[in-house]
Copies of this chain bind each other. A is one copy, B any other.
Amino acid sequence: MKSVSLSLLVLAAAAALPAAAANKNTADLKQPLVLAAQGSFFVGGESKTIPAATPNGASGDVTVNQMYVQFQTPANAGRHLPVVMVHGCCLSSKTWETTPDGRMGWNEYFVRKGRPVYLADQSSRARSGFDASIINAVKAGTAPTAQLPNVLFASHQIAWVVFRFGPAFNQPFSDGQFPVEAADELYKQMIPDLNSTLPSPNPTWANMAALAVKLHGAVLMGHSESGFFPEQAALSDPAGIKGMISIEMPCPATLTDAQISSLAKIPTMVMFGDHLGDVHGGPANWADSFDGCQKFVQRVTAAGGDAEMVHLPAMGIHGNSHMLMQDRNNLQLADLILDWIDAHVEGKKVSARK
């Protein structure tokens, strides 16, 4: 079992790590960050003509379905593939940045570990914008109220339980890794989710696939709502996708054998945190999601693929919430992912060259 072998590797590494080395690593993170390049751009997007009847001078053409991407390339990149990070429901790329309690996020940590990092706001979210024309049409009386989008947003109460900070609102798990003292800062990251305004299939999938092609190869990472987006992107166009990291999401049971065979060509890591069965009453059922993803990993493995379920408690890492990239041990988890990329995505490339 791969998860066990990885687990033993990590435990052995942790045991062997002298305190001085751990301190040095922390000190390194305070050194200046040296970037070869940074910037932002869009992937995708189509023109749409808005009828003249809507108010605010908005008649004419607008661009919709584009995906905003912000990137940083470290000065010491070169041999490492870019990593594309895509956030979940009711969130933006802020997910991957400075944690609610002010620690370094995965975006900067991955850059400091030599990876070009691309943060994408999902199409219809945050800096990607959204198609607001139906809201104005309803206000103008040219479309029925029923056509208004279902705008998803999670209350503080829902977030606390669904994100598994504890069993009930404002009650933390005793071993919880999320910095609950900074929960108010997490709530500020939670923004309206307008994915219901998107056409089907979700344009973010093709945009992620196109981004991987544009980068001449990339590892795609998704979380929660977007956890299976790397796989959806690969089903759209696998050409640029060199690895897939899927964090805490439902895995569809409806995939065909042909789809599984296609996905089995790309190394896949699935990661779940702790307390999956210990929260109740929210819209998510994490225990069911975990079971479904176990089955997905088994199907991919049976099809000859390199797929791994990383269940953190099974590795002796306890207390991780759904927002594990913001948990107190977030850099330990980042190291697991970096090691997995090295071994399963980039290691294979090296051995193939021999």
Interface residues of A (CB under 8 A from B): 32-42, 45, 47, 50, 55-63, 66, 68, 70, 75, 92-94, 97-98, 102, 104-105, 108, 121, 126-130, 132, 135-136, 138-139, 141, 145-146, 148-158, 184-185, 187-192, 282-283
Cα distance A145–B155 in the bound complex, in angstroms? 24
Given contacts A32-B34, A127-B189, 4 further A-B contacts (CB under 8 A): A58-B152, A62-B190, A68-B94, A129-B190
Q: Which of B32, B41, B136 contacts A150 (CB 8 A)?
A: B136
Q: Which B residue sits closest to A105, measured CB to CB?
A: B39
Question: Can you list 22 pairs linking A and B with CB atoms under 8 Å apart?
Answer: A32-B35, A33-B35, A33-B37, A34-B34, A39-B104, A40-B94, A42-B189, A56-B150, A56-B152, A57-B154, A57-B282, A57-B283, A58-B153, A59-B155, A62-B156, A63-B184, A70-B97, A127-B127, A129-B191, A132-B151, A136-B151, A139-B150
> Do the beta carbons of B145 and A94 come within 8 Å of each other?
no
With a cutoff of 8 Å between Cβ atoms, the chain B residues found around residue A98 in the complex are 39-41
Question: Shortest CB–CB separation between residue A243 and chain B, in angstroms?
Answer: 26
With a cutoff of 8 Å between Cβ atoms, the chain B residues found around residue A153 in the complex are 56, 58, 62, 132
The DSSP consensus for interface residues of chain A is mixed
Cα distance A121–B127 in the bound complex, in angstroms? 9
Q: Which of B32, B59, B126, B149 contacts A127 (CB 8 A)?
A: B126
- Given the contacts A94-B127, A158-B57, A63 and B192 also touching, CB distance less than 8 Å: no
Q: Which B residue sits closest to A52, measured CB to CB?
A: B155
> Do the beta carbons of A127 and B93 come within 8 Å of each other?
yes
Cα distance A92–B102 in the bound complex, in angstroms? 23
With a cutoff of 8 Å between Cβ atoms, the chain B residues found around residue A128 in the complex are 191
With a cutoff of 8 Å between Cβ atoms, the chain B residues found around residue A97 in the complex are 39-40, 70
Question: Shortest CB–CB separation between residue A55 and chain B, in angstroms?
Answer: 6
